[in-house]
Amino acid sequence: MEAHNSQPTVSLQYVDPQVDELLKHSIRTQLESLLKAKLTTGQRQLLLKKSFVDAMTLVLSNTQVEHLQLVNTFEAMYDQAVQSMALAQLSQEQLTRQYVSASGLIMSPHNCKHTIKDVYRIKGYARGIDLAIQSKLKHSPSITILYPACGPFAPLLLPLLSYYKDSNTFTSQQINVILVDVHPGAILSLQQLIKDLQLDDFILRIEAADATEYEPAESIDLLVLEAMQHGFTKEGQLSIAKHLVKFLNIDGWMIPQNVSVRGMMVIGETEFNQQWKEVEYSHSLNTNTSAQQDRVELGEILNINKSTLLNMQELELQDGVKVIPASKIKLPTGVKDMGERILAIYAHIDTFADEGVEQYDSGVTHPRPDMTFYIDAKPRDVEHTHFVASSGDMVQFYYQLSGLPGFVPVKL
């Protein structure tokens, strides 16, 4: 899911009003079909809960589940959740306003609503969160979970809580959740969805706040966060994690426990086109061996976990922009076609224990081509944003913490 045309400054942006009408139309259509079906509130809530429980039953199962079955089950969950969003009666602005804040893109609820269909991302997170909760509750009567930038559906937790409630696995005395989102439309939608799912007891608070500034009064056992886009760009994952990690208990865990952001030089046609010609859908299990062997890995550019976050040093540049020094990498030598290759940056997410989200499992781990980075080649039009280096050069990567977060390579 890509953002609309964002700018590197704090600015408000609105989607074209004509497009807005079309966007809103799709939600209205679903609401109308719901009304036509003449369901009572009770019947609708039952279907909603069932769809959430069904999705988690599949995801937590240890037997192999067909891709199509997963997709259809998640689609049913989406269809139900979107009805709660429709019933929350967001104004056009609350539904479609999208803007760039000081720490990254603030996506509109209209665009965010699709993340509940991101099957393998939710699977990797839900399985990890489930293990972490089980583990914490073995030693403690109750835990507090903080989930910042949760979006309109908080899809990494609400389905799991529905499952716990339905199966009597854990009670609301054991799990206290704080949900945080800065978008008023996301807050309204969350309130409606939680009411419809009858999960109020599990929710300690819903906070309308910027997660890079929010200070919880409680100490936190689990910090659940996914505010990233492919190539670790655009959204404020790092700024949010860096701020909130301070509120974790000494033995509190961040989920994901580790994010490894890596770089590679690839032939674009092989990596992004040929590799996927014969397969039904992109997923780490469906990658092609020869395309993988054709990659020239540069190694890890940034590693994000509780300990690296607590030790991260920020540098402030003259214009107030803050950067984090990331890895120093020696560009490989002896690669004949290096000049034809492009840089692609991808993330590998370890949510908890052995659970995770690997390359191509989700939009957020999909390698992102960077067309401004050149090795042994000259760009046709040299712009100041272009980085030009040679095989064997040492390159220092920085991560820029701004409205448009992303990597900045510098030649040493």
Ligand X SMILES: C[S@@+](CC[C@H](N)C(=O)[O-])C[C@H]1O[C@@H](n2cnc3c(N)ncnc32)[C@H](O)[C@@H]1O
Binding residue for ligand X, selected from 77, 220, 227, 264, defined by CB under 6 A: 227
CA–CA separation, 265 and 261 (whole Å): 14
Closest by CA to 133, choosing from 347, 16, 125, is 125
Q: Examine residue 356 and tell whether it contacts ligand X (CB under 6 A).
A: no
Taking CB under 6 A as the binding criterion, the range among 73-81, 104-112, 190-198, 355-363 that sits at the site for ligand X is: 104-112
Give the nearest distance from C-beta 100 to ligand X in angstroms: 10
Regarding 82 and contact with ligand X (CB under 6 A), the answer is no
Using rule CB under 6 A, residue 107 touches ligand X: yes
Which residue's CB atom is positioned nearest to ligand X? 151
**Please, which residues have CB within 8 angstroms of residue 341's CB and are 6 or more apart in sequence?**
265, 266, 267, 296, 335, 375
Nearer to ligand X by C-beta: 30 or 101? 101
Q: Which stretch binds ligand X (CB under 6 A): 150-158, 313-321, 373-381, 402-410?
A: 150-158
Find the binding residues for ligand X in span 179-218 (CB under 6 A). 180-183, 186, 210-212
* Site membership for ligand X, residue 115 (CB under 6 A): yes
How many residues interact with ligand X (rule CB under 6 A)? 24
Region of 142-150, 295-303, 304-312, 394-402 interacting with ligand X (CB under 6 A): 142-150
Q: Which is nearer to ligand X, 115 or 257 (CB)?
A: 115
Q: What is the 3-state secondary structure (H, E, C) of the chain?
A: CCCCCCCCCCEEECCCHHHHHHHHHHHHHHHHHHHHCCCCHHHHHHHHHHHHHHHHHHHHCCCCCCHHHHHHHHHHHHHHHHHHHHHCCCCHHHHHCEEEECCEEECCHHHHHHHHHCHHHHHHHHHHHHHHHHHHHHHCCCEEEEEECCCCCCCCCHHHHHHHHHHCCCCCCCEEEEEEECCHHHHHHHHHHHHHHCCHHHEEEEEECCCCCCCCCCCEEEEECCCCEHHHECCCHHHHHHHHHHHEEEEEEEECCEEEEEEEEECHHHHHCHHHCCCCCCCHHHCCHHHHHHCEEEEEEEEECHHHHHHCCCEECCCCCEEEEEEEEECCCCCCCHHHCEEEEEEEEEEECCEEECCCCCHHHCCEEECCEEECCCCCCCCCCCEEECCCCEEEEEEEECCCCEEEEEEC
Work out whether 226 is an interface residue with ligand X (CB under 6 A): yes
CB of 35 to ligand X, least distance (A): 27
| Contacting residue, 15, 112, 126, 146, with ligand X by CB under 6 A | 112
Min dist CB 347 to ligand X, Å, is 14
Which one, 247 or 387, has the nearer CB to ligand X?
247
CA 342 from centre of chain: 24
Q: Smaller CB distance to ligand X: residue 210 or 294?
A: 210
Whole-number minimum distance, CB 60 to ligand X, in Å? 17
Q: Which stretch binds ligand X (CB under 6 A): 105-113, 170-178, 292-300, 371-379?
A: 105-113
Q: How far apart, in whole angstroms, are the C-alpha atoms of residue 399 and residue 355? A: 26
Minimum gap (Å) between residue 61 Cβ and ligand X = 21
* Tokens found for residue 391: 């095989």
Report the nearest approach of ligand X to the CB of residue 380 (Å).
35
Q: Does 95 bind ligand X (CB under 6 A)?
A: no
Closer to ligand X by Cβ: residue 51 or 275: 51
Nearer to ligand X, 150 or 261 (CB): 150
Q: Which is nearer to ligand X, 112 or 199 (CB)?
A: 112
Decide: is 294 part of the binding site for ligand X (CB under 6 A). Answer: no
**Residues at the site binding ligand X, with contacts judged by CB under 6 A:** 103-104, 106-107, 112, 115, 148-151, 155-156, 180-183, 186, 210-212, 226-227, 236, 240
